[in-house]
Structure 1
């Protein structure tokens, strides 16, 4: 799923009938329209959901379907399907819902053709039903987990029994219902099963799209804390207050069709120009509020944030000139621009508060100066400090720390016109803080033009290389993915990982920089990457043989860098320097050698940045 303007896509979980029933929630046409208008007008994020949610929700009337269709046609809403064609999807639904046809009549009547009015445009390679079977199976197999309530324990046991008899049926609550309702005392377990199904289903789509949910929808508070990843940036209650105060409330209060031409005009400029800045100003406000609340109490709950933010917006609007509907009339672009000016005045007033000034400045740096030309990624403290020292010496950088979501980022200022930031990952590519997820989150937060992994690596040829020599990956081989088989009486190992090339633009910039570089030697070639900390000569030599012999060195985070950057179509390259030979002597003068290698890699990168050509 693409990140529109750096905004994480929003998964429309509230359209899921199963999820709604698990919370005693009922979507209506008016509520749907209200939520969608706030997300369209108050955010630049793409919206997405499974095509089945759009087709199967019987609470959606003709007006709702027309609105959803308009959003699909504009590219704002992206329906997702596991099946390659509509006909294939319909056949799969008929197979899955044969046992529950009464609840899904659209797949079993002649009216199925009307479904083609909204068709999927994004293909999802993994089947949600298969995922749910594994997800629920793992949950139910634990039985009576320590600390679990008796209702949850019963729900796990009933789910386990039901899965044991399943054939091809869809994993909605209807399938589990006969097992639960077999005894009257089983009724309390129903809600535990319903919610677990919904959490699994929504979680699968959030993982697929690397998305978030809209929070603040009345009746769905249970799921806000469990599924939201960037609260309260997509909170519809706060978005509504914000849009009302900047003079756009009339678009929220009137039916979509009343201002249909204006909405059509907005969809054409959404996320760009004044609208792009308007939605980022909202983020500046929320960043300031949450930062101050966290500093004051150390704990920020959704209830506290919503109420404090609303109070602050109410205070800001006094004397700002914003009145309901004051900017009506004229092209929609002009009205959005007027709302932007009102928002700017509100944020300026906020910034004059001694209590909030620093938080506003940080928010502006993160969300208004949103351009990040080069994102530097390190994996250790010695690497980060080496970059700070080199940037300070090269362009007098003063690292400024900012926080977005769960991650911290360092702003290193500008060099040769390029805005540079740094984020530190844990060692290796996997895990919750490894390079894959760190770089993925950083791309979502900062929308960089290029990502560079810089730091330390192992070399393989002390006769032709020296400690501190810089390695620039002309190719990268992820070695962990392998096929281990048998060839006669011998074990046969065949690499299955990608052998990939970095961005031609970044490789060109590094080659050009090497011409005027007067430091250590710079080697361009193949670098192997995997999660193993290699310090064994035999294993190292086996890796070299597996890769084909022409290898300059190896490290641990590059494969994660490539995976995240490639998926988001972001330029990437790896620049590291040799700190050891992975031969069992890694501990020899370890600190000294790592500092030398990190310093050389950082200095070569800064020299490359100084040559320019990395803006935009």
Structure 2
């Protein structure tokens, strides 16, 4: 607009200058040395605008006045161009800042979840469920010297899912606690989910509860059953349980509770999960656990290790496992597979739904 307006001013002034000079020089016959044509006047005015005094010399007062006005007009145009360039550069920088801030926010808002499993059938169930959700194959990798699988992203929020497998229990070097303890600082997950199979303690058939084989259990609390004191009192053995009872991470717990809305898979049960290093396949031991921990909904062998590994770190934790048996020796490959697939499906549903909050970055 500035350049267009300046061009119009020069065109009009050039016409006025040319008319004045042509009239004055007609009698004298010296028109070739004056800006007596529109083209000559326009070129002369542009030269004056850039402080160039070469070219024709006007003879009329009107033309001289126009010539004196051209340098200030040139300075105004130059100043306006400089201001416009500065504003454009400033706008570009602001736009670039907003773009970078948006990218940074987008990247920072992406949630990273580490899913931990033990059995091959648990691992494969998670890989298949995530692949069904995002259409991407698992990418094998390593972190902190441990094999992991990068499973891609889920949901509109782009939740990144990593998978690792540990040995059963928590007490050996390859078991859950040391594996999780070394992987968590390496991959820096926002949340850790223990997925797989467990034994149920609210059986509809045996306990007058609500559970069936293949149902999903989410740990509202974990209770360590390994830590205990054994004494003799009056010739009888007395056992005092000293293990901690700890609530799962609130954001994960609430997000998975919200994920039951619209869930059409197997029923999901929230409750206290017993965790210990003993593989329970005994009706006698199960009855003892039921008697001592009346509120317990399930039992398994790795959750205490996950809780201990995340203690003092920013990563939240929870367990999502399917009921494969009742802890009385009836476990089969079919019940393992059904339970593992149900748990994996609910994990993927929960991560895809978008109810998991983005934790603050520290």
Q: Deviations over 1:437-459 (max 9, x none)?
A: 11111111101111000000001
Residue number in structure 2 paired with 1:450: 191
1:609 aligns with 2:351: yes
1:496 and 1:596 map into 2 onto residues whose CA distance is 34
Q: Deviations over 1:28-65 (max 9, x none)?
A: xxxxxxxxxxxxxxxxxxxxxxxxxxxxxxxxxxxxxx
1:510 aligns with 2:256: yes
The within-5 A match list for 1:548-559 is 549-559=294-304
* Maintained 8 Å contact 1:485/1:491: yes
Note the C-alpha offset of 1:372.
Answer: 6.2
RMSD (Å), alpha carbons: 1.7
Residue number in structure 2 paired with 1:84: none
Note the C-alpha offset of 1:585.
Answer: 2.6
Alpha-carbon spacing, 1:614–1:602, altered in 2? closer, same or farther (3 Å): farther
Residue number in structure 1 paired with 2:177: 436
The within-5 A match list for 1:65-84 is none
Note the C-alpha offset of 1:614.
Answer: 4.5
* Maintained 8 Å contact 2:282/2:327: yes
1:406 aligns with 2:145: yes
Residue number in structure 2 paired with 1:384: 123
Residue number in structure 2 paired with 1:346: none
2:175 and 2:200 map into 1 onto residues whose CA distance is 22
Q: Deviations over 1:395-422 (max 9, x none)?
A: 2132111112420111111112211101
1:544 and 1:532 map into 2 onto residues whose CA distance is 15
* Maintained 8 Å contact 2:144/2:183: no
Note the C-alpha offset of 1:607.
Answer: 0.3
Note the C-alpha offset of 1:531.
Answer: 1.0
Q: Deviations over 1:222-251 (max 9, x none)?
A: xxxxxxxxxxxxxxxxxxxxxxxxxxxxxx
Higher strand share: 2
2:144 and 2:218 map into 1 onto residues whose CA distance is 31
1:438 and 1:454 map into 2 onto residues whose CA distance is 15
The within-5 A match list for 1:463-502 is 463=204, 464-502=210-248
Note the C-alpha offset of 1:485.
Answer: 1.3
Q: In structure 2, which of residues 329, 337, 349 is the aligned counterpart of residue 584 of structure 1? A: 329
Alpha-carbon spacing, 1:482–1:569, altered in 2? closer, same or farther (3 Å): farther
Please list every run of 5 or more consecutive structure 1 residues that lacks an aligned counterpart in the other structure.
Answer: 1-367
Residue number in structure 2 paired with 1:396: 135
2:174 and 2:329 map into 1 onto residues whose CA distance is 27
Please list every run of 5 or more consecutive structure 2 residues that lacks an aligned counterpart in the other structure.
Answer: 1-106, 205-209
1:562 aligns with 2:304: no
1:517 and 1:372 map into 2 onto residues whose CA distance is 22
* Maintained 8 Å contact 2:199/2:323: yes
* Maintained 8 Å contact 1:372/1:446: no
Note the C-alpha offset of 1:486.
Answer: 2.5
Note the C-alpha offset of 1:584.
Answer: 2.8
1:481 and 1:556 map into 2 onto residues whose CA distance is 13
Q: Deviations over 1:322-370 (max 9, x none)?
A: xxxxxxxxxxxxxxxxxxxxxxxxxxxxxxxxxxxxxxxxxxxxxx99x
1:490 and 1:516 map into 2 onto residues whose CA distance is 52
- Give the 3-state SS of the residue equivalent to 2:114 in structure 1: strand
2:173 and 2:245 map into 1 onto residues whose CA distance is 24
The structure with more radius of gyration = 2
Q: Deviations over 1:50-99 (max 9, x none)?
A: xxxxxxxxxxxxxxxxxxxxxxxxxxxxxxxxxxxxxxxxxxxxxxxxxx
Q: With the length of structure 1 as denominator, give the TM-score of the two structures.
A: 0.39
Residue number in structure 2 paired with 1:293: none
Q: In structure 2, which of residues 336, 339, 347 is the aligned counterpart of residue 594 of structure 1? A: 336
* Maintained 8 Å contact 1:452/1:572: yes
Note the C-alpha offset of 1:526.
Answer: 0.6
Note the C-alpha offset of 1:569.
Answer: 3.7
* Maintained 8 Å contact 1:476/1:558: yes
* Maintained 8 Å contact 2:190/2:314: no
- Give the 3-state SS of the residue equivalent to 1:454 in structure 2: strand
Q: Which has the higher contact order (CA 8 A, sep 6+)?
A: 2
* Maintained 8 Å contact 1:372/1:421: no
Runs of 4+ in 1 over 4 A off after TM superposition: none
